[in-house]
Structure 1
Amino acid sequence: MRKIATEEAFTIPEIVEAIRNVIRRGGPNLDLLLLKQLYEVPASPPAEAPSDSMQVSNRDRAAKDMLPKLLDFDTARLATMDANGVDIQILSLVMPGVQMFERVQAMELAQLANNRLGEVIRRHPDRFAGLASFAPQDPRAAAKEMERAITTLKLNGFIVNSHTGNAYLDDPQFLPILEAAEALGMPLYIHPRAPSDGMAGPFREYRLEGAVWGYGIETGTHILRLIFGGVFDRFPKLQVVIGHMGEALPFWLGRLDFMGAPGARAGRKNQLLPSEYFKRNITITTSGVEDPLALRYCIDKIGADRIMWAIDYPFQPTPSAVAFIDSAAISDTEREKIAWSNAERIFRIKKNH
């Protein structure tokens, strides 16, 4: 069966070095905890270190091992795809993208990353598609880069890593970005990052900031701000994609519809039920959630047309993600939609891929 993986990460050397400079400066942002693991070699623990310290070091090494995979396009990545029957990866710049850099640097690195991505796709047109990065730090320049990415580089949509400067896309300053995404008719993938500074406290002590919990909470909150802020009413054709089986939001839709119906509370601007936006404006991917019961629930709740398969390469193993979509107790029609045909339609992947 044809397979298109829809949340697959990469980076480029220039962004690696820029991130290392951010790490050297330090600061309170929770993303730095993971970034230190990805981009700095952890110190070896002393011989007398307790076992829990050794386990932390091993986890640090595992994170560090991700960097060569993120930088690779032509060897290990393709070999893994071939070995597991993955036809296409939709590539996107790894979290946090360019969103922790100052404005000019962020704009320049987003353009560079998009150019490199375009080159990779031209080199392997039947194996890769791509989502364009942009710098929300300058929304008008971001909109121009979004247009260039689609019209000139022929990319397949956009990627943003939740908040920028602790602000979310419902903030009026980001209107040019939303206008561009809707006008260009291409999807905006909202990928997680660690909780913003205002909600970071409870996540720090037990390292809850990442994929274990914080990522889903952060991105789910972002989507609810778009819903209750009326963004999807102002931009009814805007298409947003979120990963990780919808960041748990499909499982809350009954309560959200009850508590968040139009006019249910002061200050809410939504004209539809939250579940209606999921059926009109929001598509989810399975990235990192290989649970057949969760998949069955989401199909029944929002429909198979609103779900796409993903691996979350290189952070999740490819073989288990492939086995999951091959073996899940769903119909052949549902499997075809989720494994590849929805991705072709939503990301406008040409048939010759």
Structure 2
Amino acid sequence: MQNLWCEPAGHSGFACACALPRRGLIRGALAAGAAALIPASLRAQAPTLPRRRRIDVHHHLTPPAYKDAVLRRMDFFPLQRDWTPQRTIADMDAAGIDVAILSVTTPGLAFAEGDERRRLARACNEYAAELMQRFPGRFGSFAALPLPDVEGSLAEAAYALDVLKADGVLLFTSYDGKWLGDPLFQPLYEELNRRRAIAATHPTSAPCCTNLQMPLFPDPLIEYGTDTTRTIGSLLFSGTAKRFPEIRFIFSHAGGTAPFLIERFEFQARIPASGAQLAGGVRPALGRFLYDTAQAANPVAMGGLLQVVPASQVVLGTDFPYRTCTEQVQGLAGLGLEDATLRRIESGNAEALLPRLKA
């Protein structure tokens, strides 16, 4: 079986030459969030967090049908494989998280084909809706879509948003070497734009970059932030973001490497063909997107992001189960932000995005 890190959504094959042995999973855990493995007895010694409303927009679940389908094909990262609603709620409670918006993460649904991919998307979304019913007020959902199957995704988005009352949809940063600014996705964007829907994104690895001979550098370490930046650039310089301004995109991990490449983006915008695709320039265009704090609750990442976009565009994300909610909340608390700004990031901006969540 292949290692999860080598088979992200968008990598169509199962003969990835970068497959790591099981010990690679351990190294990947260390690189991508070993703090989630800290014993509860040690985590309990962490300082008490002040009680305030918190909404986590980047929080993963593992639906049973999805887990079964993955395990038939590849190794599953243990933290994801062993996920349960009870573990999620316990971790939320430890950090004072009131609501978590759930989404399926890597490997996504790309390992399945045709009708199976559609069925898995439906199973994931119905399971998330079931959790919303079982635990009132604790969960929301960003619906899984069977992309790059656009026709199936249009049908699933309608069902998830209208029938299951999902809060938005989840898109991966790329599919089969196509980033989110590709014309392939235009029919879906037309519908999402009409609905003013939320489109949360999650990074994956492009097919070009999963075959690197770097066993100590699993894909999430570098490629995830890079692919987030590729897809942001794709949306901007293709004109897609300008054509569909009502879609409320959320980018993971403080926008990947985009804040650190701002000068390059702005230089690209000087080229008339590129600049014409932007609504008001690079920074105003980036300032229309939202960004979560998952694995970025540190002075370097958040400092860079807040130099590029206003705090009104930043929302709390934890990336559970790959990181604990407490880690991420404590990281934000340690940034020295004004209390009003911190409250906006922890809940106010999410409440503005999703009014149903207002306390």
In which range does the TM-score fall when normalised by the shorter chain?
0.7 to 0.9
Query: Given the alignment of the two structures, is residue 247 of structure 1 paired with residue 261 of structure 2, yes or no?
Result: no
Q: 1:188 to 1:272 in 2, by over 3 A?
A: same
Question: What secondary structure, in the 3-state scheme, does the structure 1 residue paired with 2:225 have?
Answer: helix
CA displacement at 1:192 relative to structure 2: 0.7
Match of 2:293 in 1: 286
Match of 1:319 in 2: 326
Matches within 5 A, 1:255-334: 255-261=264-270, 263=272, 269-270=277-278, 272-280=280-288, 282-334=289-341
* Paired AA for residue 171 in structure 2: V
Q: Is this contact kept in 2: 1:162–1:190, CA < 8 A?
A: yes
Q: Is this contact kept in 1: 2:62–2:80, CA < 8 A?
A: no
Question: What secondary structure, in the 3-state scheme, does the structure 2 residue paired with 1:8 have?
Answer: strand
Q: 1:78 to 1:241 in 2, by over 3 A?
A: same
Match of 1:197 in 2: 207
Q: 1:127 to 1:271 in 2, by over 3 A?
A: closer
Query: Given the alignment of the two structures, is residue 130 of structure 1 paired with residue 121 of structure 2, yes or no?
Result: no
Q: 1:262 to 1:129 in 2, by over 3 A?
A: farther
CA displacement at 1:234 relative to structure 2: 1.5
CA displacement at 1:297 relative to structure 2: 3.5
Matches within 5 A, 1:9-20: 9-20=60-71
Match of 1:64 in 2: 78
Match of 1:52 in 2: none
* Paired AA for residue 162 in structure 1: T
Match of 2:14 in 1: none
Matches within 5 A, 1:1-353: 1-23=52-74, 36=75, 39=76, 63-69=77-83, 72-73=84-85, 75-194=86-205, 196-201=206-211, 203-261=212-270, 263=272, 269-270=277-278, 272-280=280-288, 282-351=289-358
Question: What secondary structure, in the 3-state scheme, does the structure 2 residue paired with 1:22 have?
Answer: coil
In structure 1, stretches of 5+ residues that fail to align are 24-35, 40-62
Q: TM-score, normalised by structure 1?
A: 0.81
Q: For 2:200 and 2:157, how far apart are their aligned partners in 1?
A: 13
Q: Is this contact kept in 2: 1:130–1:157, CA < 8 A?
A: yes
CA displacement at 1:204 relative to structure 2: 4.0
Q: For 1:185 and 1:18, how far apart are their aligned partners in 2?
A: 32
Q: For 1:265 and 1:137, how far apart are their aligned partners in 2?
A: 26
After superposition, give the CA deviation of every residue in 1:158-180 in whole Å (9 maximum; x if it has no partner).
11222222222222222122112
Q: How many residues align?
A: 308
* Paired AA for residue 197 in structure 1: P
* Paired AA for residue 73 in structure 2: V
CA displacement at 1:290 relative to structure 2: 2.3
* Paired AA for residue 304 in structure 1: A
Q: For 1:99 and 1:12, how far apart are their aligned partners in 2?
A: 16
Q: Is this contact kept in 1: 2:143–2:169, CA < 8 A?
A: yes
Q: For 2:143 and 2:94, how far apart are their aligned partners in 1?
A: 27
Q: What RMSD, in angstroms, separates the aligned Cα atoms of the two structures?
A: 2.0
Query: Comparing 290-299 with 106-115, which one deviates more in the overlay?
Result: 290-299
- Sequence identity (%): 23
Question: What secondary structure, in the 3-state scheme, does the structure 1 residue paired with 2:219 have?
Answer: coil
Q: TM-score, normalised by structure 2?
A: 0.80
CA displacement at 1:142 relative to structure 2: 0.7
* Paired AA for residue 22 in structure 1: R
Q: For 1:264 and 1:243, how far apart are their aligned partners in 2?
A: 28
CA displacement at 1:137 relative to structure 2: 3.0
CA displacement at 1:17 relative to structure 2: 2.2
Q: For 2:71 and 2:317, how far apart are their aligned partners in 1?
A: 28
Q: 1:252 to 1:102 in 2, by over 3 A?
A: same
Q: For 1:99 and 1:322, how far apart are their aligned partners in 2?
A: 32
Question: What secondary structure, in the 3-state scheme, does the structure 2 residue paired with 1:222 have?
Answer: helix
In structure 2, stretches of 5+ residues that fail to align are 1-51
CA displacement at 1:233 relative to structure 2: 1.8
* Paired AA for residue 15 in structure 1: Y
CA displacement at 1:331 relative to structure 2: 1.0
* Paired AA for residue 97 in structure 1: G
